[in-house]
Amino acid sequence: MANTIPQGRTAPALSPTPADTVALHFEAVNACAMARWYAARHQHAAAARKSVQALTALRRLAAFERTEAAA
């Protein structure tokens, strides 16, 4: 099957919708819960990965709030 997706093009960045902020909040809470779960089972590498995911979601949520406040 031939590749029909144009290469080198990306969709324009859209500002997150309120539903996206809910999803980011859920992502952060879920990653924190999973990090705690892994840490309780002494799986520290997995806990560290989930902590990074939680921090990333929180940073994205904070960036959205900053752009929303500036508008």
12-34 pLDDT per residue, tens? 556 656 678 889 899 999 999 99
Place of tokens 């960036």: 63
Task: Report how far residue 41's alpha carbon sits from residue 39's, in angstroms, rounded to the nearest whole number.
Answer: 5
Q: What share of the chain is helix, strand, coil (3-state, %, to 5)?
A: 70, 0, 30
Q: How far is CA 43 from CA 16, 32, 49, 51, 55, in A?
A: 34, 14, 10, 12, 19
Q: What percent of the chain has pLDDT over 70?
A: 73
Name the DSSP letter for residue 5. Answer: S
Q: What is the pLDDT of residue 69?
A: 77
Task: Report how far residue 7's alpha carbon sits from residue 48's, in angstroms, rounded to the nearest whole number.
Answer: 34
